[in-house]
Amino acid sequence: MSATDQAVSAAVAAAEDWAAAPPEARARALKAAADALEAARAELVPLADSESHLGPARLNGELTRTTFQLGLFAEQVLAGGFYDARIDRPDPEWPTGPRPDLRRYRTALGPVLVFAASNFPFAFSVAGGDTASALAAGCPVVVKAHPGHPALSRRTAEIVTAALRDAGAPEGTFALIEGEQEGVEALRHPGIKAAAFTGSERGGLALAKIAADRPEPIPFYGELGSTNPVVVTSGAAKARGEEIAKGYVGSVTQGAGQFCTNPGILFVPAGDGIVDRISALLGEVAASPMLNDRIESGFLDAARTLGERPGVQRLIWPEDGSAAPRLLTMDLAAFAADSQAAARECFGPLGLVVTYERLRDVAEVLAKLPGQLTTSLHGEADETGELTGLAGVLAERSGRVLWNQWPTGVSVTHAMQHGGPYPATTTPATTSVGTAAIERFLRPVSYQNWPQDLLPQPLRDGNPWNVPQQIT
């Protein structure tokens, strides 16, 4: 039996007990994992830094986000809203014939495979959002480690495994596997009932195909990246040109540009001087080490390809082979003529500024772009009357729209949506960040005329788990 088969088989064995664990037990286990990671902060942050080069400030913040997320999801388990419990009382007068006693809730899907990401060694990795949401839903988790931070992955898994076990979670509730082939083997394993992935479009689509081609296809929640277009109105450019330039440079170079919400493309009015301001500011930003050599060479290749597209001017273009920030510009007509290539994600610190003459032409071009995680609009309060059409296009093409803010920094809240039309995500109706992420790992079941003592707890008359029940 391979290590992968062992991990998945143990997850299968744990599935029923973990799904049936009372909210208090499941919440306690999630909180125990958070506390244990917090207690190991002094060890984990330097380890993460040594493997990711992201620096202690960012990594400390990311660990805080990760433990907060586990705690917030524990609260959701206690609140029980995600069960979506509905009770129809029998109704002999129901217009289509006597209505039986019907009770519906959402139950855990079963073991979930999580593919960890490289760019968030804590928050989208071993104990990150996918793991937290699957565990909260009542699903055991098998994480396929990202090779970019193997030592951190192993140590995190040890801590989480021990914390869950000590808190009483069934053996097999959590496991780590390593290796690309092992990940594919797990994805094909009949015991795995859903998979979540954060990473490149190419890698994600290949795995999505494997998930779809199984004898029993399973949901594959892939978050694949985006160029996150930002539009600046002429009013905003006039009123706050310097502030916007500064904000853009900060967002596009943050974390060496290694965010799926990196605002890769900025649309600005032609001739307002904003390109020069950005150029001046970006020229001051030194190269930061990237996550690893593969990502760095991928960035340099993608940047080179983009820099050579027709109509592209290279404003900042280090020739020393470093991954220092780059700035390109082109006009809207050139972008429109080449938009599918020009709008490809370039994972790293690169900004493409597209100059436009008429805002309505921007809306037309954006309407044809591939789906995005985010789109943003920088405008003035007195312009909103003219922005209805553009606002509609932005919301149609993305999962989150922002006004006068930058898309990097994805808050973990109830109203967050991190996901968007294809190919930003493979399943646009779901989110991978925020409390709604838990819903991905649930499946509804109805119980008709079912005996009380065989009903799952959230559907019983006494409501022993004290979940919200919609009774009609």
Please, which of residues 311-340 interact with a copy of itself by CB under 8 A? none
Least distance from C-beta 359 to a copy of itself, angstroms? 14
Which residue stretch of 271-279, 305-313, 352-360, 440-448 sits at the interface with a copy of itself (rule: CB under 8 A)? 440-448
Residue entry with tokens 């991905």: 440
Q: Which ranges of 118-254 does DSSP label H, i.e. alpha helix?
A: 129-137, 150-166, 180-188, 201-212, 234-253
Tell me how far CA of residue 296 lies from CA of 252, 287, 291, 418, 452, in angstroms: 16, 11, 7, 25, 59
Q: Give the sign of the dihedral formed by CA 302, CA 403, CA 72, CA 396.
A: negative
Ranges of beta strands (E only) in 79-119 are: 85-88, 102-108, 112-115
269: left (phi over 0), alpha (psi -120 to 50) or beta: beta
Residues 375-434 that bind a copy of itself (CB under 8 A): 381, 384-385, 387-388, 391-392, 395, 398-405, 409, 411-417, 419, 421-423, 426-431, 434
Ranges of beta strands (E only) in 332-379 are: 350-356, 372-378
For residue 466, state whether it binds a copy of itself (rule: CB under 8 A).
no
Least distance from C-beta 385 to a copy of itself, angstroms? 8
The CA distance from 343 to 341, in Å, is: 5
Q: Judged by CB, which is closer to a copy of itself: 213, or 284?
A: 213
List residues with catalytic annotation.
223, 260
The CA distance from 73 to 34, in Å, is: 11
For residue 364, state whether it binds a copy of itself (rule: CB under 8 A).
no
Which residue stretch of 26-34, 214-222, 300-308, 348-356 sits at the interface with a copy of itself (rule: CB under 8 A)? 214-222
Q: Judged by CB, which is closer to a copy of itself: 289, or 409?
A: 409
- How far out from the chain centre does Cα 213 lie? 24
Q: Judged by CB, which is closer to a copy of itself: 96, or 181?
A: 96
Two tokens, residue 467: 């979940």
Least distance from C-beta 164 to a copy of itself, angstroms? 22
Stretch 3-42: interaction string toward a copy of itself, x if CB under 8 A: -------------x--------------------------
Q: Judged by CB, which is closer to a copy of itself: 95, or 321?
A: 95
Residues 72-91 that bind a copy of itself (CB under 8 A): 86-88
For residue 298, state whether it binds a copy of itself (rule: CB under 8 A).
no
Residues 47-76 that bind a copy of itself (CB under 8 A): 61, 64-65, 68
Say if residues 326 and 349 touch (Cβ distance below 8 Å): yes
SS3 275: helix
Tell me how far CA of residue 178 lies from CA of 37, 70, 184, in angstroms: 21, 23, 11
Least distance from C-beta 259 to a copy of itself, angstroms? 15
For residue 204, state whether it binds a copy of itself (rule: CB under 8 A).
no
For residue 226, state whether it binds a copy of itself (rule: CB under 8 A).
no
- Can you tell me which of 95, 181, 293, 320 binds a copy of itself, judged by CB under 8 A? 95
Q: How many CA atoms lie within 13 A of 193 on its CB side?
A: 19
Least distance from C-beta 222 to a copy of itself, angstroms? 11
Stretch 161-200: interaction string toward a copy of itself, x if CB under 8 A: ----------------------------------------
SS3 254: helix
Q: Judged by CB, which is closer to a copy of itself: 181, or 388?
A: 388
The CA distance from 346 to 323, in Å, is: 12
Q: Judged by CB, which is closer to a copy of itself: 219, or 349?
A: 219
Amino acid identity, position 336: A
**Angle, CA of 203, 206 and 210, to the nearest 5°:** 135
Stretch 104-133: interaction string toward a copy of itself, x if CB under 8 A: x--x-x------------------------
Count residues near a copy of itself (CB under 8 A). Answer: 75
For residue 372, state whether it binds a copy of itself (rule: CB under 8 A).
no
